[in-house]
Amino acid sequence: MKALNDKNVMHRDLKCENIMLNFPAEGWSQVDKKFRQEFQMNSGNFQIKLADFGFSKELEEDELTASVYGTPLYMAPEILNRKPYTTKADVWSLGCIFYEILIGTMPFNARDYNDLIATIEAGLYSIPKTIGLS
């Protein structure tokens, strides 16, 4: 994300499906596959890669864009409302991804597009008390 931001590039479709984890397999047998995965997750010996740059766009400094691309459940409010936005819209999507990873569901749910906009604008999300977060 920092590399994209440094180049003023927006991904515009950040979601869990577009995040790939690469676990190098050098030196491990297939028998040890489960152990390898647990070891690498705990040791941090893996790479995170972004995929699907089909909607990405490079912006000039201080440029705004208004095209509506992406997956609505991950879209920043300004995109949903068809207002100009910057690379900061990807930060919103990243926040939705973090929420989904921690909680197991999307932060905002809705019946349709208009309901999604209303739900986001009202800030209607919660963290279930059954989730053991510090």
Residues designated catalytic: 13
Give per-residue pLDDT as tens, 85-114.
999 999 999 999 999 999 999 999 899 999
* Mean pLDDT along residues 113-125: 92
Instruction: Collect all residues with Cβ–Cβ distance below 8 Å to 131 and sequence separation of at least 6.
Output: 102, 103
Q: At residue 49, what are phi and psi to the nearest 5 degrees? A: -130, 145
Mind listing the pLDDT tens digit for each residue in 2-34? 889 889 999 999 999 999 877 666 555 554 666
Pairing of strands 57-58, 47-50: unpaired
Residue 65, both tokens: 């864009």
Look up the pTM and report it.
0.80
**Of 36, 6, 8, 19, residue with least CA distance to 93:** 19
The domain spans of the chain are 2-122
pLDDT of residue 81: 93
Choose among 124, 88, 95, 86: nearest CA to 15: 95
- Residue 29 or residue 59, greater confidence: 59
One of 1.20.59.20, 1.10.540.10, 2.30.110.10, 1.10.510.10 is the CATH number of 2-122, namely 1.10.510.10
